[in-house]
Structure 1
Amino acid sequence: MFFSTKDTGPVADAVKQHWVDTRLPVWARPYARLARWERPIGWWLLLWPCWWSAGLAAIAAGNPYPDPYHLVLFFVGAVAMRGAGCTYNDLVDVDIDAQVERTRSRPIPAGQVTKTQARIFLVLQALVGLVVLLQFNAFSIFLGLAALIPVAVYPFMKRVTDWPQLFLGLAFSWGALMGWSAEFESLGWAPVLLYIGGVCWTIGYDTIYAHQDKEDDALVGVRSTALLFGDWTRLAMIGLYALTTVLFALAAAIADAGPAAFIGIGAGALHLAWQAIRLDIDDPMECLKLFRSNTTYGWIVFAGFVADAFIGWL
């Protein structure tokens, strides 16, 4: 039965005493863990490119702020599709997860849910995402459906390339195109540059995250930019984050943004520089802290875009 689950305890690296583990009914907890509801950083990272793009579109359109309805839709869609993506990833990676210390307590390898139950839950989350997508214009609907290609490919890339983080970036940064298309029913160089910059940003932060698992990954044959960069990770971060900043600035310039947008991008660059300076690839807890701090980076850039839209409208 779908609701027949067993709770063997939280995932090893989950937030302790989270409401998922203290407030939800026991039968629901494994599904919440599949969707990573106790780790909101994931849907924030998926959401930020959407909100940035909506903010940049507001600047280009001369609107005082991003469409609030679009922001809400992107939020709901990010939560649903991040959960669906995590569930899909866990189904694909169940054999690998069972061999890695940090992931062997995830619901499927831990026996909290069956693969069939996980597949049903995946479909339900995807349906929520589809309902959200259908609220947009036709161009955005087709664009959103195209995002399923990098989403479907990503979980397999760690087996065949040292750059799985690149494919994660292609999937997670897709919202940089969606916010713009929701406003204009088309694309342009501004959202494309924002998208490429988002890909660079994703490679950076997920490389930091991957350093938590590098020993286990090497043992089980999983590849990553963390293993590829090794001791050169800090230098790689500086390059990736610098490219992110340049591409975001170019996108803002093409969108005819004003000073506030560039101040936000500049302040965000300082935050990224702080990450590179603080990075200790041999300290998993510090890597996790820096990874999560990208929520702050998202707010900084978004605040600059929103402020610039309002100032430009006055």
Structure 2
Amino acid sequence: MDAYKRVFVSGIAAPVLSPPNPVRRSGFELATVVEKLEWAAADVLAVTLRAADGRELPRWRPGAHVDVFLPSGRQRQYSLCGDPLDRGRYRIAVRLIPEGEGGSREVHEGLWVGDRVRIRGPRNAFTLVDAPSYLFVAGGIGITPILPMVKAAGDRGRLVYAGRSRESMPFLDELPDADIRPDDEVGPPDVAAIIARAEPGAAVYVCGPPAMLAAAQRCRFELDPTGSLHTERFSAPPVVDGRAFDLTLARTGRSVRVGADETALTAVRRVLPDVNYSCRQGFCGTCKVGVRAGAVDHRDRLLTHAERADRMLLCVSRAAGDALVLDL
């Protein structure tokens, strides 16, 4: 699952349910080894990683993800879907996307038990808040961040899990109490009707395909005012109201044109493929760079007012005029 994160939260967010552990913007750099590969569904491969040096792995909370650096150099983000109490291993799950950019195919066809894999993290932008009750709605591979949440919530949580068919839905054997709704048996889920059944004060978590997330967000104003809605998507949002502009990379002396429908990060990576990034949605801060000249159209959800005077996030922010000069 390529887990590029976009998180939407409305309502009241109480302190996190899981043990305190500060979210890190840059995360840990870790060398890991593939310990196990197993099929979680017809086209979903579960990958278990352990630390290459045998040490305990960093703690994480339900909803967290790691950046995975594949042997080809591709960087992908995957939700942790194992047991947060197990410090010896991390588990991720990757659905094969034949028409994708090649990351999932590389995992499915190129990773073997014993291979070394560099990761960064964990980080969490889909935190499980404390609430009197929970409603979890997952679609397909969207079960991965929600699976540890369901287990942490225990009797306070209820899961509705949808997918194309049972064969395509990973981890069904770990969810004996879930409300399973395969499309080929009961039809596509009515997200609005499902969310309408949330108890007063419930925290509602939704993760799945874009149509499911859009339906959930349309329901946010209909929730009980004491509740909260949390959604996560696994693809970068399209550029809205963009216009082309020029970037000058001061330290390297390079220039690049940013198209109206692409991000500054995409353009910069054409000339600096190793530039740091992670979420591609404006919340983690990995792609923060200095701005030497030019006005910025800030579209992130992270930088402070003071930081916006001379910083920007490449993944979402743009030039407010025709050009920017960056400290790259």
TM-score by length of 1: 0.29
TM-score by length of 2: 0.28
Q: Which has the higher strand share?
A: 2
State the structure with more CA Rg: 2
Q: Which has the higher helix share?
A: 1
